[in-house]
C-alpha cells in the first residue's frame, strides 16, 4: 500500500512542479508572446535552473508511474 501512496505523491509532485514552472514562464511573456528577461545573465540562469527542475520533475513522474505499476502488479499477484 505504501508503494501506491509514494507513487501517487511523486506524480502529484511532478504535476505541481510542472504547473509552477509553466506559470512562471507564462508570467514572463510580453505582448508579443516572447519571454522577457532583465539581462542575458538572468536568462541563462533561469533557463538552466528551470530545465534542471523540469528534468527532476519528469524523473519524479516516471518514478511515480513505476511505483504505481509495481503496486498494481503486487496487488494482482496470485497467492497460493
Most confident stretch, 33-37, 55-59, 66-70: 55-59
Return the DSSP state at 38.
S
- The tens digit of pLDDT for each residue in 36-65 reads 999 999 999 999 999 999 999 999 999 999
Positive or negative, the CA dihedral 16, 19, 22, 27 is negative
pLDDT of 77 strictly over 90: no
Query: With bands split at pLDDT 50, 70 and 90, how would you rate the model's confidence at 3?
Result: confident
Q: What is the mean pLDDT of the chain?
A: 91
Q: Mean per-residue pLDDT for 21-44? A: 93
pTM as predicted: 0.84
Distance of CA 80 to the CA centre of its chain: 39
CB 68 within 8 A of CB 11: yes
Domain boundaries, the chain: 2-76
User: Where do the H-state alpha helices sit in 1-80?
Assistant: 2-27, 40-76
Amino acid at each position: 500500500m505504501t508503494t501506491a501512496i509514494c507513487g501517487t505523491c511523486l506524480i502529484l509532485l511532478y504535476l505541481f512542479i510542472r504547473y509552477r514552472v509553466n506559470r512562471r514562464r507564462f508570467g514572463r511573456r510580453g505582448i508579443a508572446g516572447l519571454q522577457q528577461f532583465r539581462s542575458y545573465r538572468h536568462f541563462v540562469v533561469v533557463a538552466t535552473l528551470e530545465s534542471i527542475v523540469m528534468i527532476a520533475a519528469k524523473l519524479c513522474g516516471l518514478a511515480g508511474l513505476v511505483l504505481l505499476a509495481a503496486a498494481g502488479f503486487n496487488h494482482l499477484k496470485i497467492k497460493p
